[in-house]
Amino acid sequence: MLHGVARGVGAVAVAALAVGAFIAADSFERPGVRIDPPSVVVEPEESSQVRVCSGPLLVLADDAADATTASSFGSTSVVTTADPADAPIEETGLDAPGNPDAATDGTPLVVASEPGSVVAGMLAAAQSQTASSEEISGFAASACIEPAAEAWLVGGATDVGRSSLVLLANPGDVASTVDVRVIGEAGPIEAPSAIGITVPARSQRVLSLAGLAPNVVSPVVHVTSTGGPIAASLEHTIVRGLDPSGVELVTPVAAPAPEQVIPGFVVTSAGGVAPQEDEAAGDEFPAVRLLAPGDAGVEVNVTVRSDSGEAVSELSVSLQGGRVIDVPLGNLQTGSYTVLLDADGPVVGAARATAEVEGDGGPVPADLAWTAATAPLLDRAAIAVAPGPSPTLHLANPGGDPLDVTLTLGGAERTITVAGGAATSIAVDPRSSVLVADGAGLHASVSYRGDGELASLSVQPPGPLDAPIRVYPH
């Protein structure tokens, strides 16, 4: 009996020693084994850089719901630039079906570089046109834009005396399917006919915004596409009584984000409307249009700063999700400003101003401009300056540190310092170009102002270019 117990105790001891040895062995570091899955880096073939100019201003015939009746009245002036300056650039017109005057006035224009001939992102083009007719008058200028799968157009109106056209240009070789969604002051607007629109290859389609969203004071248009990127823009015209009183070409603003910068907002006549006033109807005063996409409400702090960095107007705005609002910017003196938006959620925005001329009973509005929120520049940028009255380049620095930027104008270099929280305005020549170096973090626009003329040309950085990708085969 005792021998059996002794054997049992010995067995337990041996088992304990074995477990201890296993634990001790497991506590030692063992060399890791890692097997990387097979992969290959694919270098995409370099493609052309493309910019699309929206073409001549258009006017609708009697049937405003029929886009085929949109006809031009005059032609645009287009300026292109690239780095290097002698790089070959090809200009090709798009089809403009339904425009009976396309043969004489021209059509939307595709500006493209040969693959590898232009430094990445350093192709730019811009257009401008002066209108003077019974239907439309004023001056409009816009950058020729890079096609994209998504665009936000902040501007326009379809209430009495206001009309807007959505311009959809497809520079590609395959048809694109486009959804156009309109959001107004009362929220999203149902427009089934604007979903699944086919834009044929190498052509432009024109939609009357009034046909999609009638009697809307503050629209924002969201454009998405599949099958190929689209260059989307919006033409906004105003008639007061029987007198045409302004035109502007609106190009896409920066994508929704909690912080937005609107550079080079120009006020040509002192005055305005207090932000807290209930009766802020009309479009004759400086204002900012805001939208928080989605259903969630957003709090926005709006600050208007002079070029010196002084805050001349500050206000807080509560946005309802999915509803657009035009907010008066207060009483502003003549000059150029930067409008800063600081929100607790994503927003899109643009600022509106008007130019006046002296009428029989005093100053009357004669033109308008929409100044878009822009994304920050990359280290280098190319800017084309379309012809127009007193073009001025605006560079805004929303950061806290000063930035030294080198500009090449007319072949000559100059270095300027843009103080933190401030901006600078530089007169430039019509039909010229500007090359920017060390400009990362700055926001830019070009403004035009003359006798009863006002326009803004936003400068957006290029989208992601072709880059190597790593492929993991199964």
pLDDT over threshold 70, residue 10: no
Under DSSP, the state recorded for 253 is P
Instruction: Give the type of residue at 180.
Output: V
CB 166, CB 183: distance < 8 Å = no
> What separation in angstroms does the CA of 223 have from each of 44, 108, 313?
28, 18, 32
Residues 6+ apart with CB under 8 A from 81: 123, 124, 125, 382, 383, 384, 433, 435
CB 41, CB 469: distance < 8 Å = yes
CA atoms of 417 and 428, how far apart (whole Å): 17
Residue range 174-195: mean pLDDT, rounded: 96
- What are the pLDDT digits (tens) for 56-78? 999 986 444 454 578 998 999 99
CA atoms of 324 and 218, how far apart (whole Å): 6
Residue range 163-191: mean pLDDT, rounded: 97
280: which strand partners?
Answer: none
- What are the pLDDT digits (tens) for 381-437? 999 999 999 999 999 999 999 999 999 998 899 999 999 999 999 999 999 999 999
φ, ψ of residue 212 to 5 degrees: the values are -95, -40
CA atoms of 6 and 301, how far apart (whole Å): 84
CA atoms of 435 and 217, how far apart (whole Å): 38
Percentage above 70 pLDDT, the chain? 85
- Band of residue 236 on the pLDDT scale cut at 50, 70, 90: very high
What pLDDT was estimated at residue 62?
Answer: 47
- Band of residue 48 on the pLDDT scale cut at 50, 70, 90: confident
Tell which residue, 263, 274, 327, 272, has the closest CA to residue 299: 327
Q: Within 246-389, where are the H helices?
A: none
What pLDDT was estimated at residue 362?
Answer: 78
What pLDDT was estimated at residue 22?
Answer: 41
Sign (positive/negative) of CA torsion 283, 442, 426, 152?
negative
CA atoms of 146 and 380, how far apart (whole Å): 17
- Band of residue 11 on the pLDDT scale cut at 50, 70, 90: very low
- Band of residue 256 on the pLDDT scale cut at 50, 70, 90: very high
pLDDT over threshold 70, residue 39: no
How confident is the prediction for the chain on average, in pLDDT?
89
Under DSSP, the state recorded for 102 is H
CA atoms of 142 and 470, how far apart (whole Å): 38
Which 3 state secondary structure label does DSSP give 17? helix
The angle subtended at Cα 276 by Cα 189 and Cα 341, nearest 5°, is 65
Residues 6+ apart with CB under 8 A from 206: 58, 67, 70, 98, 165, 166, 167, 168
pLDDT over threshold 70, residue 37: no
Radius of gyration in angstroms for the set of CA atoms belonging to the chain, rounded to a whole number: 29
- CB neighbours (10 Å) of residue 226? 12
Task: Break the chain into its structural domains and give their ranges.
Answer: 50-463
Under DSSP, the state recorded for 45 is P
Which 3 state secondary structure label does DSSP give 372? strand
- CB neighbours (10 Å) of residue 437? 16
> What separation in angstroms does the CA of 333 have from each of 199, 312, 434?
44, 9, 29
What pLDDT was estimated at residue 31?
Answer: 52
CA atoms of 423 and 417, how far apart (whole Å): 9
CA atoms of 133 and 111, how far apart (whole Å): 29
Residue range 285-304: mean pLDDT, rounded: 96
Residue range 320-346: mean pLDDT, rounded: 97
- Band of residue 465 on the pLDDT scale cut at 50, 70, 90: low
What pLDDT was estimated at residue 448?
Answer: 98
